[in-house]
Amino acid sequence: IFVSLPFFFFGEQIEQAFSGDGIVSWLDEYGDVAWAAAVGLLIADLAIPVPTTAVMAALGIIYGPVLGGVIASLGSVISGLVGYGLCRKYGRPLARWLSGDKGLAEGEKIFSRIGGWIVALSRWLPVVSEVVACMAGLSKMPFRIFLPALTCGSIPLGFLFSTIGHLGEEKPALTLVLSALLPFILWMLMRSFIVER
């Protein structure tokens, strides 16, 4: 519900900003600090629905696959850390109010057993990645497990989409659309696999 609210109020502006090569043009306006604007967008995905893979592809178009990959990976890690930290420090009263002590205990149990896998794999899924980072914080997942799992999921993601962006530099609109759609396709495949099992 909360993720859809920005679309209700600002859907047209969000769609225009991130459609086609809009994100590349928007980042180009920041010149030498386009990297910081991109990292800011990746962090903003905690509150508003930002197509993070399109941002990562745009970094590949602007900075190339290596530097773009480093920035994209770093932005993904920072975003996960912010969500984890805020929810770990301030989110438990709200979580307890929403799900009760029993629900919170169940979340802690899940994250103590397979939390690392959940965090690493969730980086590849739209919307889910930031929700999982927040849930890991709420569940007080140990930081020594959370950070490596977050990093393992973020680095390949950042470099893959940065490379996709770089390789598609000649057709940025097509590249960014594909980059935004690929996580949804992966999720649908994974979801059908999970349902079948």
Mapping DSSP onto H, E and C, the string for the chain reads CCCCHHHHHHHHHHHHHHCCCHHHHHHHCCHHHHHHHHHHHHHHCCCCCCCHHHHHHHHHHHHCHHHHHHHHHHHHHHHHHHHHHHHHHHCHHHHHHHHHHHHHHHHHHHHHHHHHHHHHHHCCCCCHHHHHHHHHHHCCCCHHHHHHHHHHHHHHHHHHHHHHHHHCCCCHHHHHHHHHHHHHHHHHHHHHHHHHC
Mean pLDDT of 129-155: 89
pLDDT band at 14 (very low <50, low <70, confident <90, very high): low
Higher pLDDT, 94 or 54: 54
Is the Cβ–Cβ distance between 146 and 84 less than 8 Å?
Answer: yes
pLDDT at res. 186: 59
Q: Estimate the crossing angle of helix 65-90 against helix 92-122, to 10 degrees.
A: 150
pLDDT at res. 4: 47
Whether the full predicted model's pTM is greater than 0.85, yes or no, is no
Report the share of the chain in percent with pLDDT over 90.
Answer: 30
pLDDT at res. 55: 93
- Written as one letter, the residue type at 151 is T
Burial class (CB in 10 A: 0-12, 13-18, 19+), 8: exposed
Report the share of the chain in percent with pLDDT over 70.
Answer: 72
pLDDT of residue 63 exceeding 80, the answer is yes
Higher pLDDT, 161 or 5: 161
The separation between CA 66 and the C-alpha centre of its own chain, rounded to angstroms, equals 19
Higher pLDDT, 91 or 103: 91
Is the Cβ–Cβ distance between 92 and 150 less than 8 Å?
Answer: no
Higher pLDDT, 100 or 56: 56
pLDDT at res. 83: 94
Is the Cβ–Cβ distance between 132 and 119 less than 8 Å?
Answer: yes
